[in-house]
Amino acid sequence: MVHTGACIANLLGQGGSRKYHLTCNWLRYFKNDRDRRDLITCGSAAGVAAAFRAPVGGVLFALEEAASWWRSALLWRTFFTTAVVAVVLRGLIEFCRSGKCGLFGQGGLIMFDLSSTIATYSTPDLIAIIVLGIIGGIFGGLFNFLLDKILRVYSIINERGAPFKILLTITISIVTSMCSYGLPWLAACTPCPADAVEQCPTISRSGNYKNFQCPQGYYNDLASLFFNTNDDAIRNLFSNGTANEFRMSSLFIFFTAIYCLGLVTYGVAVPSGLFIPVILAGATYGRIVGTLLGSISDLDPGLFALLGAASFLGGTMRMTVSVCVILLELTNDLPMLPLVMLVLLISKTIADNFNKGVYDQIVVMKGFPYMEAHAEPYMRHLVAGDVVSGPLITFSGVEKVGNIVHALRITGHNGFPVVDEPPITETPELVGLVTRSHLLVLLNSKNFMKGQVKTSGSFVLRRFGAFDFAKPGSGKGLKIEDLDFTDEEMDMYVDLHPITNTSPYTVVETMSLAKAAILFRELGLRHLLVVPKTPDRPPIVGILTRHDFMPEHIHSLFPNLNPHKYHSASMAG
Amino acid sequence: MVHTGACIANLLGQGGSRKYHLTCNWLRYFKNDRDRRDLITCGSAAGVAAAFRAPVGGVLFALEEAASWWRSALLWRTFFTTAVVAVVLRGLIEFCRSGKCGLFGQGGLIMFDLSSTIATYSTPDLIAIIVLGIIGGIFGGLFNFLLDKILRVYSIINERGAPFKILLTITISIVTSMCSYGLPWLAACTPCPADAVEQCPTISRSGNYKNFQCPQGYYNDLASLFFNTNDDAIRNLFSNGTANEFRMSSLFIFFTAIYCLGLVTYGVAVPSGLFIPVILAGATYGRIVGTLLGSISDLDPGLFALLGAASFLGGTMRMTVSVCVILLELTNDLPMLPLVMLVLLISKTIADNFNKGVYDQIVVMKGFPYMEAHAEPYMRHLVAGDVVSGPLITFSGVEKVGNIVHALRITGHNGFPVVDEPPITETPELVGLVTRSHLLVLLNSKNFMKGQVKTSGSFVLRRFGAFDFAKPGSGKGLKIEDLDFTDEEMDMYVDLHPITNTSPYTVVETMSLAKAAILFRELGLRHLLVVPKTPDRPPIVGILTRHDFMPEHIHSLFPNLNPHKYHSASMAG
């Protein structure tokens, strides 16, 4: 029962992105990279919108964290998606209000409705909040640091095969269960408050004031936190006017347990998120601070819990606007917005001094060739020609089938420059870029010629429809291994002009690498052609791919390059 | 008294951007285009944040409407700005709560606090809301159409000089006053509700239930709308449980008046906005629909007023996420969010069929060379070389002072290609791009040479500091007219290599114009060099500026180009 509420929302969220992946197969318009990328962005927006019932937060999350490019069309599409999610979700909650669907639908569209009338805060309160933000930032940075270490250990374990994966998952489950069941023994029993609105104590059902081995009329506050749904635990921590519901010692134990469990759980082979554990740990931390300051500050510990959650989110996720809006949509506590913004500002600034955001860290750790939006400072001291890696394979405008097949077989390159050479033109001349997938489609049609002559290209229009060159679903495309050619066919020629992209983006070899990287990143390129500075050389120097801009590649070419030295130098210039 | 509340917020908002303009003069870090642009974006975010007390809405407004490029650093900066605005605003409101500051501070951080407990809505309600969205979109599109026409007339009037400007302003003021005072005569008197919380009727102060020529115990509902602050009028229209406060006829008159006054007021020479008139007209429209549907729908007319305001904002501004968040921060009515999103979706979709968003229209009308984020379809059928406009002025790497001065005097160009020619190099070779402002700084130093020899360039490092080449404040830079040269100096040479940008972005002349436009737009370039395809020509074909991508320029070069034909052709391809 513990995770049911969160799981249904999570299932909806994952359905949000998986659903679109499925529809890809029969919707032809999505058969290109850009639209597919947009759909994944929309899917992630829909996921957040559904999981947190925060449609606008979902849009912002997708744009701040998931999307590499910001286009107004993308904004419109994600907004469309989440608006539909919001209306559907609203309808489902309405439908489930009568309790037909388990815990789903509880709490309505706002998960942790606070709607507090904010107490006016004084200067000491503001100082307390700033200190809370600073400590929250430190804890958030520490969380990222530890998570990175743990994930690295896990990835070694997981690589050893499925049995190890399962063993790890089982171990973590057992540890979690032991913590959940064992730790409440440490807490003393608390007498039920006389004015409790809810049933107290509750036994064998979800709810607050868990009895757990206490005599009648008493409850175990730590068990109330552990044996509740995460949603209810967060709601309890956020709640106002319940300053004495939790003991200090219980909050400390719960905070330590949740912080550590959140760290060890994320990397195991179960679909678990970071948001809820971080909010839970942050809220507990905030409530501890609030309880400690109870004598000095007029603010309710529940408000401190909200600010603590914000500080942890700022410290780990490093998102600002989206966390703001998600917290606003979760709690409906608009008057707290300025304080939430202040805390986010402080905790992000503090944590940025230590390390990168948790999602950026994971991307780096997984080894994805993710390009930073800005060029690294040392790139200013290199030129595009420096990092081109050879050997370069080019095709003639009308190329022998055998050469193409050979090139496709021995390399994994996805793009090849096409150069017209005598006798087709007088001097070697760059025609453009041809991609592997288009080459495979052309080869598959086996429309070859005996001689090396340039055709009108009209046969391509006759033979192929617009969607024959469309991007296939992953794992569904043609592979060079699937194609067989006779020796006769291998000696024939094929005209590449009709399928060549004649407007590839190019840079001169003396172009600063930093500027080439910006061009590559901003336009979202796959290949960037490097052309020579002077005309006395072949018309193409090389081809830059994402891999060539990665720091590892550059450092392997220039082992003596010291990024820190260049960093300071460039800051001074 | 009518606009005091709005004006103080507005002043704060304008101060937000003006403040940064002032600080530019002594903060050296802002002496470049990018940081200055970012500051203006932050200023506009701060303005919206202060005017609507909507900090997150301000961030989103700035990013959705004001910023052409989206960078995570920019997000962080605008967030920082609005967070500071929010905290300061919160402090000021706290300070002014006791009534020290006039109407400012009334209503707290949330201007129109609704916090309604939403009634469950049924299918007929949903259909009503969809129809409301459609009609709202049509009205919004019509507003943009009419505003465009009126602004064109106004710009003709305003161009004739200051007296005409003042006359126009006075005329509009008189018309507005006449409407405000004259129209309430048309409305009948309504008896005060027995259970009114506020004083009824009110005489000679701001408030609802205006007496206006009615006998004691009666109020004039139209006067209550006209003679109130706009804020209070909006609050009244949004309010729940007051279904009978306004008569249908009064709402109709008010709607017509506000719609027309909003149209005619925007272009006159006073600082007036579009947001509040549009919200006011939309809320009135929504309330009319709500009152009409009173018998069918369970929803309160106040909720319809909110949705009507959303539909008008969606129809005129064409913003989605930011309007959502601004409305949420204005009304604190989170449960309405799904419906607001739905209405925005519909009204924007409908209005997009008619014309562009109001701000886009104004940019086009003012003739700013604003580039669309996407390339026009007909650009795919042109190449970069087609639109280069001559004559091209290039400099040698070591150029005669007289030639530079002459070129700067006869043209207004801001960038000049530098080409090394024999005897410095064997063949003509493109060095890079030099800007007018850098040339002027170099000329001003009068460090000239007798012969045409290439220097080491070290004198530049010796003679100039990093900030000598910094961008000066507008109107403060060196002008070619300010510089005087003797005949002897005019015959001397100057080495341009040290100040040449050797990594300008280049495209080949056969590059598709559409792709060149995307490169230009995405990287935010000022100049794009066009290089020849074949090496038997001079190393530079031309230089593309923003102007060359404008439809007017392209159409003047290719009068026979029919954008519509290409549009349909490209859609099919």
pLDDT, tens digit, for every residue of B80-113? 888 888 888 777 777 776 666 655 555 555 666 6
For residue A543, the cross-strand partners are A529
Contact B96, B104 (CB under 8 A): yes
pLDDT(A5) > 50: no
Nearest CB among A55, A374, A430 relative to B341 is that of A55
| DSSP assignments along A58-116, one per residue | HHHHIIIII-SS--HHHHHHHHHHHHHHHHHHHHHHHHHTTTTTTTTTTTTT-TT----
Chain A hits for B64, CB-CB cut-off 8 Å, are 72, 75
Is the confidence at residue B207, as pLDDT, over 90?
A: no
Minimal Cβ distance to B75: which of A89, A120, A321? A321
| pLDDT at residue A565 greater than cutoff 70 | no
Q: How far is A224 from chain B (nearest CA, A)?
A: 29
Q: Which residues, in sequence order, are CB contacts of A520 under 8 Å at separation 6+?
A: A371, A528, A544, A546, A549
Buried b (16+ CB within 10 A) or exposed e, A170-188: eebeeeeeebbeebbeebe
| Contact at CB, A83 and B108, closer than 8 angstroms | no
Please give the pLDDT value at position A241: 65
Residue in B29, B63, B68, B70 to test binding to A, most A beta-carbons within 10 Å: B70
**pLDDT tens by residue, B422-473:** 777 777 888 888 888 888 888 887 777 777 766 666 665 566 665 566 555 4
Q: Which positions in chain A touch B521 (Cβ < 8 Å)?
A: none
Task: Classify burial at B475, counting beta carbons within 10 Å of its beta carbon; exposed 0-12, middle 13-18, buried 19 or more.
Answer: exposed
Say which of B60, B503, B519 has its CB closest to residue A505.
B519
Nearest-CB residue to A325 (from B64, B108, B325):
B325
- Among candidates A325, A338, A503 on the partner chain, residue whose Cβ is nearest the Cβ of B512: A503
Adjacent-strand bridge partners of B210? B202
Task: Quick: pLDDT tens for B232-252.
Answer: 777 777 777 666 677 888 888
pLDDT at B573: 30
**Is the confidence at residue B19, as pLDDT, over 80?**
no
Map residue B206 onto helix, strand or coil.
coil
pLDDT for the residue B343: 92
Which of residues B8 and A450 earns the better pLDDT score? A450
Residues whose CB falls within 8 Å of the CB of residue B540, separated by 6 or more in sequence, listed in order: B392, B394, B417, B419, B430, B529, B530, B531, B532
Q: Do B335 and A506 touch (CB under 8 A)?
A: no
pLDDT bracket for residue A164 (50, 70, 90): confident
Q: Do residues A233 and A261 make contact, with C-beta atoms less than 8 angstroms apart?
A: no
Tens of pLDDT along A433-449? 888 888 888 888 777 77
Here the tokens at position A480 are 């060079």
Decide if B328 and A328 are in contact by the 8 Å CB cutoff. Answer: yes
Contact at CB, B332 and A334, closer than 8 angstroms = yes
* pLDDT tens for each residue of A410-436: 887 888 888 887 777 777 888 888 888
Q: How confident is the model at residue B475 (pLDDT cuts 50, 70, 90)?
A: very low
What is the full DSSP assignment across B136-153?
HHHHHHHHHHHHHHHHHH
Average pLDDT over residues A114-141: 80
State how far the Cα of B106 lies from the Cα of A122, in Å rounded to an integer.
Answer: 20
Contact B329 A341 (CB under 8 A): no
Helix, strand or coil, per DSSP, at residue A29: helix
Contact between residue A416 and residue A527 where contact means Cβ atoms under 8 Å apart:
no
Structure tokens at A227: 């044996």
The tally of CA atoms less than 13 A away on the side-chain side of residue A517 is 25
What tens digit of pLDDT does each residue of A221-243 get? Answer: 777 777 777 777 777 777 766 66
CB contact under 8 A, B345 and A80: yes
- Asked if B345's CB is within 8 angstroms of A83's CB, the reply is yes
From chain A, the residues in CB contact with B522 under 8 A are 522-523
**Candidates A110, A325, A534; nearest CB to B427:** A534
Closest chain A residue to B467, measured at CA: A573
User: Using one digit for the tens of pLDDT, what is the confidence trace for A50-103?
Assistant: 777 788 888 888 777 766 666 677 788 888 888 888 888 777 777 776 666 655
pLDDT in tens, B268-305: 777 667 888 888 899 999 989 888 887 777 777 888 88
pLDDT at B247: 81
Q: Count Cβ–Cβ pairs < 8 Å, chain A vs chain B.
A: 172
- Are the beta carbons of B83 and A328 separated by less than 8 Å? no
Residue B423 preceded by cis peptide, ω within 30: yes
Among candidates B63, B83, B518 on the partner chain, residue whose Cβ is nearest the Cβ of A341: B83
Distance to chain B for A49, nearest Cα, Å: 11
Nearest CA in chain B to A328: B334
> Least CB-CB distance to A502: which of B56, B466, B510?
B510
CA–CA gap between residue A179 and residue A162 (Å, rounded): 26
pLDDT at B177 over 70: yes
Per residue in B62-79, pLDDT (tens digit) is 777 766 666 677 788 888
Sheet holding A542-544, edge to edge: A506-508, A528-531, A542-544
**Which residue intervals of A191-320 are DSSP H helices?**
221-226, 230-238, 248-266, 275-292, 301-316
* Structure confidence at residue A133 (pLDDT): 92
pLDDT at residue B145, as a whole number: 92
Residue range A481-502, pLDDT digits in tens? 777 888 888 888 888 888 888 8
pLDDT higher than threshold 80 for residue A277: yes
Residue from B322, B503, B509, B511 whose CB has the most chain A CBs within 10 Å, to mutate: B503
Q: In chain A, what residues touch B75 (CB-CB under 8 Å)?
A: 64, 320-321
User: Distance (Å) from the C-alpha of residue B337 to the closest C-alpha of chain A?
Assistant: 8
Which of B76, B380, B525 to mutate: most A Cβ within 10 Å?
Answer: B76
Exposure b/e, A478-493, CB count within 10 A at least 16 = b: eebeeeebeeebeebb
Does B523 sit within 8 Å of A505, measured CB to CB? no
Search chain A and give the residue with CA nearest B80.
A345
Judge whether residue A200 has pLDDT over 70: no
Interchain contact, B79 vs A320, CB within 8 Å = yes
CA–CA gap between residue A187 and residue A179 (Å, rounded): 13
Cβ pair B522:A518 closer than 8 A: no
Tell me whether residues A535 and B427 touch, CB distance under 8 A. yes
Which of B94, B320, B342 has its CB closest to that of A75?
A: B320
Determine whether the interchain pair B83/A510 forms a contact, defined as Cβ–Cβ distance below 8 Å: no
For residue A383, the chain B residues in CB contact (below 8 A) are 503
Contact B109 A64 (CB under 8 A): no
Report chain B's mean pLDDT, rounded to a whole number.
76
CB < 8 Å to A511, chain B = 503
Q: Which residues pair with B416 in a beta bridge?
A: B434
Does pLDDT of B517 surpass 70? yes
Percent of chain B at pLDDT exceeding 90: 6
- Between chains, do B338 and A90 touch, taking CB under 8 Å as contact? yes
| pLDDT tens-place string over residues B340-354 | 889 999 999 999 998
